[in-house]
Amino acid sequence: MPGISIFAPAKINLFLAVTGRRADGFHDLVSVVAPLDFGDTLRAEPAEGFSLACDDPAVPCDATNLVLKAASTFAAATADKGAIRGATFFLEKCIPMGAGLGGGSSDAVAALRALNQIAGEPLDAAQLTKLATGIGSDCALFLHSAPIVMRGRGERVTPLPAEAAARLRGRRVLIFKPAFGIATPWAYGRMAAEPATYLPAAEAEARLARWLGGPAEAEALLFNNMERVAFEKFVALPVLLEELRTRFGLAPRMSGSGSACFALLPEEADGPAIAAVIRGAWGESAFVREARLL
Ligand code: C5P
């Protein structure tokens, strides 16, 4: 059986409203998420037992990696069918970690897809969604390769209406991240300590419905109420975003819980000039990359 190669896209949250804390400790949210045409590549070959190697030495390749968590979840879910005995994974890592770009979650879903293909598709889409949600809150969205609306703790995913998706597809976007990352549990914990940062669910839905119902372009959708707690501690973020607003007229935002930020770029924008300003502010270790929304 030959190996297979799966593209694991990065994502950005164009709209992210964290609406409140749930009884189970997770948070409810309403978010519009778009996958990007840039991401990791995961190769999988059938083997005895599961193992992972990665071209980036900073990536842990032990059981804490979501690829191996996905593999054991898949093996357990299909044990009665004897569908898979193992696989050797190789991860080509391009998506920065601790970024709010969904890299680990996307890799996990790529592993589920790879194993399901190798095993002859024993699981259907609904079963894969259930497994993905058990691995991480924002995994389910990566089973779609187009913009989606995500609700609940991230597991309730619906495709964006075609007309709205068309306002996003193909848009040019600049992704940039400082050398430091932000831990997702920390960001949610800070919001829980300051409940005024939540946006009530009804307001979040009304805001989203206004954009969905109108002709407004992607820029009018942009929102993220996790920025407040992140910007309080990591001041390098708001300082640069303000500079990009004033110098280039951009509307930059943070993605997810950060620390990656993004700006939709007009087609005529001078990407390298903007990248130079970002590197000037955050140093040469900053990650800067152009992409397109899928
Ligand atoms: O599910 P996942 O492992 O991605 O979540 C990481 C952490 O982020 C959770 O342990 C929780 O603290 C927080 N979280 C949350 N509400 C969500 C998603 C994540 O509070 N909807």
Segment 209-232, tens digit of pLDDT = 999 998 999 999 999 999 999 999
Measured in angstroms, how far is the CA atom of residue 169 from the centroid of ligand 1? 28
Q: Is residue 79 part of a domain?
A: yes
Q: Are residues 38 and 148 in the same domain?
A: yes
For the chain, what percent of residues have pLDDT higher than 90?
97
For 6-21, what is each residue's pLDDT tens digit? Answer: 999 999 999 999 999 9
For 59-72, what is each residue's pLDDT tens digit? Answer: 999 999 999 999 99
Q: Is residue 208 part of a domain?
A: no
Asked if residue 2 has pLDDT above 80, the reply is no
Q: Is 188 in the pocket of ligand 1 (CB under 6 A)?
A: yes
Report the relative pairing of strands 287-292 and 172-177 from DSSP bridges: antiparallel
Domain stops at, among 135, 159, 183: 159
Q: Is 138 a catalytic residue?
A: yes
Rounded CA-CA distance 9/20 in Å is 28
**What pLDDT is recorded for position 82?**
77
Q: Are residues 66 and 190 in the same domain?
A: no
Catalytic residue among 11, 28, 40, 93: 11
pTM, two decimals, is: 0.96
Measured in angstroms, how far is the CA atom of residue 184 from the centroid of ligand 1? 7
Instruction: Give the residue whose CA is nearest to atom 15 of ligand 1.
Output: 26
Locate all alpha helices (DSSP H) within 57-124, ordered by sequence: 66-77, 103-118
Q: Is 137 in the pocket of ligand 1 (CB under 6 A)?
A: yes
What is the arithmetic mean of pLDDT over 264-275? 98
- Say if CB 293 and CB 170 are below 8 A apart: yes
Instruction: Give the residue whose CA is nearest to atom 13 of ligand 1.
Output: 185
What is the number of residues in the chain?
294
Cα 242–chain centre separation: 24
Catalytic residue among 124, 138, 177, 270: 138
Task: Report the 10 Å Cβ neighbour count for 138.
Answer: 27
Q: Are residues 179 and 249 in the same domain?
A: yes
Q: Is 177 a catalytic residue?
A: no
For 236-254, what is each residue's pLDDT tens digit? Answer: 999 999 999 999 999 999 9
**What pLDDT is recorded for position 83?**
79
Asked if residue 91 has pLDDT above 80, the reply is yes
Q: Is residue 21 part of a domain?
A: yes
For 165-180, what is each residue's pLDDT tens digit? Answer: 999 999 999 999 999 9
Q: Which amino acid is at 272?
A: P
Asked if residue 73 has pLDDT above 80, the reply is yes
Q: Are residues 67 and 175 in the same domain?
A: no
Structural domain span for residue 109: 4-159
Q: How many domains does the chain have?
A: 2
Q: Are residues 146 and 13 in the same domain?
A: yes
Asked if residue 120 has pLDDT above 90, the reply is yes
Q: Is 26 in the pocket of ligand 1 (CB under 6 A)?
A: yes
Positive or negative: CA dihedral 192, 198, 200, 201: negative
Q: Is residue 164 part of a domain?
A: no
Rounded CA-CA distance 254/222 in Å is 10
Q: Are residues 102 and 187 in the same domain?
A: no
